[in-house]
């Protein structure tokens, strides 16, 4: 799951090639393209159907749901009234948690980028024969429950925990200062939980860099710092883009960290949506908020990738 997003974009688009009998690829396919001409369709069919039925159609359902009459309920059923006001109402009611989600996700992404770059760089260039082991270790925390790891942060950041005590002793934190139930705790939790999503694509990008390029930069009178900023960093930009997306998107939609480590003042949009669905049964509002989140993220991602593509981000 590391470098595949780029790979998928790089894959040549073969639409329409298969339709004519004399396509230029046929020559190479004498061995590889076994079976009949329809084998590809048969192999793809189950997954394509599944994704259509349980990924694409649900989006249609979600759009529909977001336009339901908000006075309906799960018991009485909903009427489709093209109630676009759902969007206006929910954004008016919940613009704070919405903005907060993006703000927290952005801070967590920046923190992940700093920590993740150091780790990915160390694995790619300094780990030597420990490279594989370190990569396994990056993924290994995933094998404990996400919730349990987040709960551990509750313990680490607890008011009577030694980090909070220590910070109070050092006067960095006030007498009654807390770490838990603050924006810091939520961002720290998000940073921790999504760090591997940053490290893996960064590593994939850094690992591809030919070390001789850095040496050549040194040979051409670049100091190590300049060599890093002029050669290594620009070449790792695909990893930076993929990593920031893979961190930011799930972080913006997360509500576990806000719920377990924050207070009601740190509620994110995920908390609201989840609450509207499961506790209040207000499906129309929940659907509208979900769609809003998706739309904002999609627009943001497209804009970000465009900018990244033109190298404005370098």
Check binding of 5 to other proteins (CB under 8 A): yes
Q: How far is the CB of 208 from other proteins (least distance, A)?
A: 13
Whether the Cβ atoms of residue 143 and residue 150 lie closer than 8 Å to each other:
no
Q: Which two tokens stand for residue 159?
A: 């008011």
C-beta of 32 vs 212, nearer to other proteins: 32
> Considering only residues 245, 258, 285, 308, which one is a binding residue for other proteins as defined by CB under 8 A?
245
Check binding of 62 to other proteins (CB under 8 A): yes
Q: How far is the CB of 285 from other proteins (least distance, A)?
A: 11
C-beta of 160 vs 312, nearer to other proteins: 160
Q: Which two tokens stand for residue 302?
A: 């497209």
Whether the Cβ atoms of residue 190 and residue 251 lie closer than 8 Å to each other:
yes
Check binding of 32 to other proteins (CB under 8 A): yes
Contact flags string 172-211 toward other proteins, x per CB under 8 A: --------------------x--xx---------------
**What is the b/e burial string over 236-270, where b = at least 16 CB atoms within 10 angstroms of the residue's CB?**
bebbbbbbbbbbbbebbbbbbbbbbbbeeebbbbb
C-beta of 55 vs 221, nearer to other proteins: 55
Helices of type H across 122-182: 131-139, 146-156, 162-169
Q: Near other proteins by CB under 8 A, which window of 92-100, 137-145, 164-172, 211-219?
A: 137-145
Three-state secondary-structure class, residue 77: strand
> What is the total count of residues that contact other proteins (CB under 8 A)?
111
Q: Nearest 5 degrees, angle CA 158-CA 189-CA 146? A: 105
> Considering only residues 71, 99, 144, 210, which one is a binding residue for other proteins as defined by CB under 8 A?
144
Check binding of 85 to other proteins (CB under 8 A): no
Whether the Cβ atoms of residue 235 and residue 124 lie closer than 8 Å to each other:
no
C-beta of 45 vs 171, nearer to other proteins: 45
Q: How far is the CB of 2 from other proteins (least distance, A)?
A: 9
C-beta of 1 vs 313, nearer to other proteins: 1
Phi and psi, residue 77, nearest 5°:
90, 165
End-to-end Cα, the chain, rounded Å: 24
- Which residues are CB-contacts of 68 (< 8 A; sequence separation ≥ 6)? 78, 79, 80, 81, 83, 86, 283, 284, 287
- Using CB under 8 A as the binding rule, the residues of this chain from 269 to 298 that contact other proteins are 269-270, 273-274, 277-278, 283, 286-287, 290-291, 293-294, 297
Q: How far is the CB of 268 from other proteins (least distance, A)?
A: 9
Rounded to whole angstroms, the Cα distance separating 19 from 15 reads 9
C-beta of 131 vs 230, nearer to other proteins: 131
Q: Nearest 5 degrees, angle CA 155-CA 159-CA 165? A: 105
- Using CB under 8 A as the binding rule, the residues of this chain from 211 to 240 that contact other proteins are 224
Q: How far is the CB of 144 from other proteins (least distance, A)?
A: 5
Rounded to whole angstroms, the Cα distance separating 250 from 257 reads 12
Q: Near other proteins by CB under 8 A, which window of 84-92, 147-155, 213-221, 230-238?
A: 147-155
Check binding of 33 to other proteins (CB under 8 A): yes
> Considering only residues 98, 107, 108, 123, which one is a binding residue for other proteins as defined by CB under 8 A?
123
């Amino acid at each position: 799951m590391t470098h595949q997003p780029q790979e998928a974009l790089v894959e040549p688009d073969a639409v329409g090639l298969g339709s004519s009998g004399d396509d230029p690829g046929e020559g190479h396919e004498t061995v590889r393209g076994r079976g009949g001409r329809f084998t590809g369709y048969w192999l793809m069919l189950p997954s394509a159907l599944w994704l259509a039925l349980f990924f694409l159609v649900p989006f249609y359902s979600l759009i529909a749901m977001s336009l339901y009459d908000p006075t309906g309920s799960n018991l009485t059923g909903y009427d489709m009234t093209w109630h676009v006001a759902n969007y206006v109402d929910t954004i008016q009611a919940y613009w704070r948690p919405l903005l907060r989600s993006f703000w927290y996700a952005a801070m967590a992404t920046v923190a992940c980028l700093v920590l993740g770059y150091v780790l990915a760089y160390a694995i790619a260039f300094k780990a030597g024969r420990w490279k594989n082991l370190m990569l396994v270790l990056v993924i290994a925390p995933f094998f404990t429950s996400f919730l349990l790891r987040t709960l551990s942060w509750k313990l680490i950041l607890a008011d009577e925990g030694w980090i909070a005590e220590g910070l109070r002793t050092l006067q960095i934190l006030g007498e009654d200062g807390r770490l838990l139930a603050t924006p810091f705790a939520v961002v720290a939790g998000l940073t921790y939980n999504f760090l591997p999503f940053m490290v893996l694509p960064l590593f994939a990008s850094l690992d591809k860099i030919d070390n001789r390029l850095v040496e050549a930069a040194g040979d051409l009178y670049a100091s190590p710092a300049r060599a890093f900023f002029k050669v290594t960093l620009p070449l790792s930009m695909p990893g930076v883009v993929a990593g920031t997306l893979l961190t930011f998107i799930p972080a913006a939609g997360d509500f576990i960290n806000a719920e377990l480590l924050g207070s009601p003042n740190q509620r994110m949009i995920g908390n609201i949506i989840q609450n509207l669905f499961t506790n209040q049964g207000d499906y129309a509002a929940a659907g509208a908020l979900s769609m809003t989140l998706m739309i904002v993220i999609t627009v943001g991602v497209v804009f970000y990738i465009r900018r990244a593509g033109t190298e404005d981000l370098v």
